[in-house]
Amino acid sequence: MKEYRDHYFRKAKEEHYPARSIYKLRELDGKFRLLKPGMRVLDLGAAPGSWSMGAAEKVGNTGLVLACDIQASDVAFPPQVLFMQEDVFNRSAAFEALLKELGPFDVVLSDMAPRTTGSRITDQARSLELAVEAFSLANLCLKKNGAFVAKIFMGPDMRELLVSMRRIFAAVKTFKPKSSRAESKETFLVGLDFCPQ
């Protein structure tokens, strides 16, 4: 196992986070200043829970994080986090009702990733499908001037998504955190200053 992987894995355990992905969110937030006290955040692909915990710390007791994942989470979340086991492609009526009740959101985060198959083309296509669905939800649920972050496996098809994002965000960036594994094809798409059409 590589040293940098050990470092982030150990650090997450020492700081009582369920996964090393917390450091990716911290880097994204440090660069783009996404999260502030009192904000409402929609966290897609939230399990095991590190991003929801990190977002909850930043938004504080006056903020709120609505988190969902197709998998369950056994994390003891703080009271400002509401976690639901949910499939974003087949959303329940209860979840849809919560989106309306609690939204619009200041930030939509997506750390969703497909189960990898070992086929680069298949994995990229599935990752793109998840990022497009997250983008679609952001388009529905974001406040004006809000922000959107989505993980995606880099590939030629992501250009079309970037073009779509540029239509409704004043600025669109790509960012690979230092805490991402060097061999990983993941990057993060960041949309800033949502301008609904």
| Cα–Cα separations (whole angstroms), residue 144 to 52, 56, 87, 104, 197 | 22, 21, 26, 9, 10
Pick the catalytic residue: 100, 143, 151, 178? 151
Q: Is 143 a catalytic residue?
A: no
Active-site residue list: 151
